[in-house]
């Protein structure tokens, strides 16, 4: 029984002909984050520390939809949310409506560890971040050139913005207007240490005033003593299907293996709406998705590791 880690940079309609100049930096980020997580696990850090560390790195990367690089709201602003869960204690921390906090996942952790609450949002969360001395930056920090361009394109096409980089205008059969959040939204990480302790973290950028699945425990994030799960995709689908909790529930109540549980949960959600990464206390890993692709990476102690998109 060894450690294991899996992470994602979002599931969705990632075109298989994604040009190299868009693909390479994302793969490089996945590689870098994976290495970071693996090194931390090898050094004996707790899974909670590891998932936070990796999620921070993903948030800092402008290529994925979380922290810097978050999809812009129609006002051209950024609003972020995140959640973290410790499988051993089942402690959790969630935040929504952040506009200046550089690392939402870290604020979620502070909510978990330093308040009697689980979930803080909007002004209250922003105020708390300042009280706690977390790093905050002006909105412009989070906004990348690429996302300004995408927002312009989206407005011209009168569609909600999609976060995969396409140099050409958005295709007709692209995500219909009702997709509130980016299909390639969200980053996440799950990890288990050698002792079987589990943790999960998920973080994303969001449209204004909306809360998605990411900060909802049981939907986008879940961890207990059996497994840790982080989901990505269409928020509504993840919430009503309680995706993250269901993987664990199938294992716990129906005795399914991680692979079977994860596959069943994905299969039961409408096609094209969801992906997830999960690990168990025994070091099993699963990364199923029913979308075109999911930016993902995983590694286990016996040496196997993988970085993939489709």
Partner 1 sequence: MAKWAIAIHGGAGVDPNLPEQRQEEAKRLLSRCLQIGVDALKARQSAVDVVELVVRELESDPMFNSGRGSALTAKGTVEMEASIMDGRQRRCGAVSGLTTVKNPVSLARLVMDRSPHSYLAFAGAEEFAREQGVETVDNSYFITEENIGMLKLAKEANTILFDYRIPLTGADTCSASVGSLVPDTSLQMNGLPISIYSPETVGCVVVDSTGNCAAATSTGGLMNKKSGRIGDSPLIGSGTYACDLCAISCTGEGEAIIRSTLARDVAAVMEYKGLNLQEAVDFVVKERLDEGQAGLIAVSRNGEVACKFNSNGMFRGCATEDGYMEVGIWE
Give me the residues that bind partner 1 (CB under 8 A), please: 90-92, 94, 96-97, 115-125, 127-128, 177-180, 208-212, 216-219, 222, 235-236, 239-242, 245-246, 249-250, 253-254
Residue 2 is assigned to a ligand binding site: no
Q: Which residues contact 216 (CB under 8 A, 6 or more apart)?
A: 83, 94, 239
Closest approach, Cβ 206 to partner 1, in A, equals: 10
Q: Which residues contact 39 (CB under 8 A, 6 or more apart)?
A: none
Residue 184 is assigned to a ligand binding site: no
Residue 211 is assigned to a ligand binding site: yes
Asked whether 84 and 221 are in contact (CB, 8 A), the reply is: yes
Residue 123 is assigned to a ligand binding site: no
Tell me which DSSP letter residue 16 carries. Answer: T
Nearer to partner 1, 121 or 309 (CB): 121
Identify whether 20 is a catalytic site residue. Answer: no
Nearer to partner 1, 77 or 146 (CB): 77
Nearer to partner 1, 24 or 268 (CB): 268
Closest approach, Cβ 246 to partner 1, in A, equals: 7
Closest approach, Cβ 65 to partner 1, in A, equals: 17
Closest approach, Cβ 115 to partner 1, in A, equals: 7
Q: Which of 105, 118, 201, 207 is nearest to 154 (CA)?
A: 207
Asked whether 290 and 267 are in contact (CB, 8 A), the reply is: yes
Asked whether 198 and 279 are in contact (CB, 8 A), the reply is: yes
Closest approach, Cβ 19 to partner 1, in A, equals: 30
Distance from C-alpha of 132 to C-alpha of 284, rounded to nearest angstrom: 36
- Dmax (CA) for the chain in angstroms is 53
Asked whether 69 and 61 are in contact (CB, 8 A), the reply is: yes
Nearer to partner 1, 66 or 111 (CB): 111
**Which of the following is catalytic: 73, 99, 165, 186?**
186
Angle at 231 between CA 86 and CA 205, to 5 degrees: 95
Residue 303 is assigned to a ligand binding site: no
Residue 213 is assigned to a ligand binding site: yes
Q: Which run of H or E residues covers position 26?
A: helix 20-42
Q: What tokens were used for 96?
A: 């929504």
Asked whether 86 and 185 are in contact (CB, 8 A), the reply is: no
Angle at 143 between CA 276 and CA 37, to 5 degrees: 40
Residue 212 is assigned to a ligand binding site: yes
Instruction: Count CB neighbours of 91 within 10 A.
Output: 16
Nearer to partner 1, 146 or 263 (CB): 263
Which residues are designated catalytic?
186
* Residues annotated in a binding site for substrate: 210-213, 232-235
* Residues annotated in a binding site: 210-213, 232-235
């Amino acid at each position: 029984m060894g450690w294991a880690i899996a992470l994602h940079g979002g599931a969705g309609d990632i075109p298989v002909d994604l040009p190299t100049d868009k693909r390479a930096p994302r793969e490089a980020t996945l590689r870098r984050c994976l290495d970071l997580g693996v090194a931390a696990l090898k050094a004996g850090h707790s899974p909670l520390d590891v998932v936070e560390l990796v999620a921070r790195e993903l948030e800092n990367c402008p290529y994925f939809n979380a922290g810097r690089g978050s999809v812009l709201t129609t006002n051209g602003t950024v609003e972020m949310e995140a959640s973290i869960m410790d499988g051993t204690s089942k402690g959790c921390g969630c935040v929504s409506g952040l506009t200046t906090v550089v690392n939402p996942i870290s604020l979620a952790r502070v909510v978990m560890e330093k308040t009697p609450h689980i979930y803080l949002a909007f002004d209250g969360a922003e105020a708390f971040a300042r009280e706690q001395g977390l790093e905050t930056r002006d909105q412009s920090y989070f906004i990348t050139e690429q996302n300004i361009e995408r927002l312009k394109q989206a407005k011209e096409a009168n569609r909600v913005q999609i976060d995969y980089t396409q140099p050409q205008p958005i295709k007709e059969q692209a995500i219909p207007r009702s997709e509130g959040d980016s299909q390639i939204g969200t980053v996440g990480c799950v990890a288990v240490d050698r002792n079987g302790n589990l943790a999960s973290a998920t973080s994303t950028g969001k449209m204004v005033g909306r809360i998605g699945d990411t900060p909802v425990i049981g939907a986008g994030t879940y961890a207990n003593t059996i497994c840790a799960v982080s989901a990505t995709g269409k928020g509504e689908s993840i919430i009503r299907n309680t995706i993250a909790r269901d993987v664990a529930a199938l294992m716990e109540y129906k005795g399914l293996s991680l692979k079977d549980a994860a596959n069943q949960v994905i299969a039961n959600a409408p096609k094209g709406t969801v992906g997830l990464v999960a690990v168990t206390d025994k070091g099993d890993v699963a990364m199923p998705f029913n979308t075109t692709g999911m930016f993902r990476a995983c590694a286990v102690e016996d040496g196997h590791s993988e970085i993939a998109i489709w």
